Structure 1
Amino acid sequence: MGSDDLFRKLKAKASKKKSREIEKKEPYSKFLIVCEDTVSGYHYLLECIKHFRLSSANFHLVGLGQDPLNIVKEAERILKEESRSHKPDFDFAFCVFDRDEHSNYYNAINKIASLNKNQGSKCLSINSNPCFELWLLLHFVYTTKSFDKTQNKTAAKNVEAELKQHFPNYTKSNRKIFQETFENIETALGNAEKLERYCNTSFVDVPFTNFHTLMKFIMSIKKS
């Protein structure tokens, strides 16, 4: 399923949930994000949530700092735990992780697919290959460069090096990345969608990111 189809499905389900819960005065559905990153990607999402003023009662973000498979397992654990509690269930869980050099990257993607056979589209993979910084790079340029590992740098480090050519202020510890790149968000969305089409037609998965799916959904909540 392409990101556009997934986005429409998510938005339709959220709108349906919203209409059912008008009496409760809950403006949108409840979401969980479990993020591999505890630095750049995590703080990017934190700032994004603040920017769009999403309610903490409806949006829960976890920075786990573990490998992709454990990200999915943690999302599964939280979903099961909440389903057994008195609290309303999460409508979706977004698992955000990178390929980087993780050996279980594809295992994580496959586990999500397996979970969804029983849970519908409740658990969603937001994955980047090789890394989150590709999403940031797409704010400035469109690229299909594979960013292979070199003798001295990982693929992710090579993406970071190219990103810094366009965004010199970038460091993983920079907590203002969202604000500093937001003016180019429409460029990033368009470039990410174009890259996804390229990957689908060329049967490749590097470089790849579907981070735009999560961003489009967050942005649609505020427009609802």
Structure 2
Amino acid sequence: MVRRITQKKRGVKTRKEKKLFILGLEGKNETEKNYFMSFNPILKKARIQCNVSNTTDPVGLVNDLIKLKKNELLEPDDTICCVFDADTEPYKEKQIQEAAKLANTNKIELIISNPSFEIWFLLHFIYTTKYYDNKSLIDDLKAYVPNYKKSGSIFNDIKVDTEKAIINAKRLDEHHNQQNKTKYLDRNPSTDVWKLVSWISNEIN
């Protein structure tokens, strides 16, 4: 549980030094959690905490974070993000649109990967605009990480190419913007993870 403020004598509240990145994650696998928690040992000015949810729909994930915000003592500079996969099912578009409105109202950042988080890993190796489903994406990733498993961690193997991945992800955003793609499911492949990683990286030094 998040406890940022401690009570001292005469009701004086003091803040702990490190800011928090609170990440709402889907609970179906540990890929995202393993990756982001690997940043903690090298962070000097911040700490990452994962809030793993039993739900997998975007609206449910955002609602879980809203409840957390109401029940926990947080600081204004803490960053709260909802991290999830767009997948490829058509019904997901409406859910994401609803989640985006809810998140915006409650100052929660959406970090969406299309079709899945593995596109962020793949962008450490190549830039591609190829359309992916979940299986074909993992197949292509295994060309570079043969022993890849969703529940494992490849953070140490790819961290040296983080800047390359950020550049490739930004390039993908520009590619979709040039084609005026506004629907989340149309932006395949893409990932917002580069934004979160950039914010986290600012707290390393």
Bin for the TM-score computed over the shorter chain: 0.7 to 0.9
2:75 matched to 1:97? no
Contact 1:109 1:125 in 2 (8 A): no
Aligned counterpart, 2:33: 42
Tell me which of 43, 47, 50 is aligned to 1:61: 50
Deviation at residue 89 of structure 1 after TM alignment: 4.2
Aligned counterpart, 1:9: none
Bigger proportion of residues as strand: 2
In the aligned structure 1, how far is the partner of 2:112 from the partner of 2:96? 10
AA in 2 matched with 1:47: S
2:126 matched to 1:141? yes
- Count residues with an aligned counterpart: 184
Deviation at residue 80 of structure 1 after TM alignment: 1.9
Bigger proportion of residues as helix: 1
Give unmatched runs, 5+ long, in structure 1: 1-23, 148-154
In the aligned structure 1, how far is the partner of 2:60 from the partner of 2:188? 22
In the aligned structure 2, how far is the partner of 1:114 from the partner of 1:55? 26
Structure 1 runs of 4+ aligned residues shifted over 6 Å read: none
Q: Tell me the TM-score normalised to structure 2 length.
A: 0.79
Counterparts of residues 1-224 of structure 1 (less than 5 Å): 26-37=16-27, 38-52=29-43, 56=47, 59-67=48-56, 68-82=58-72, 87-89=73-75, 91-101=78-88, 103-117=91-105, 119=106, 122-147=107-132, 155-175=133-153, 177-204=154-181, 205-223=187-205
CA RMSD of aligned residues (A): 2.3
Contact 2:87 2:116 in 1 (8 A): yes
Q: Which moved more, 1:185-194 or 1:101-110?
A: 101-110
% of aligned pairs identical? 27
Give unmatched runs, 5+ long, in structure 2: 1-13, 182-186
In the aligned structure 2, how far is the partner of 1:160 from the partner of 1:126? 20
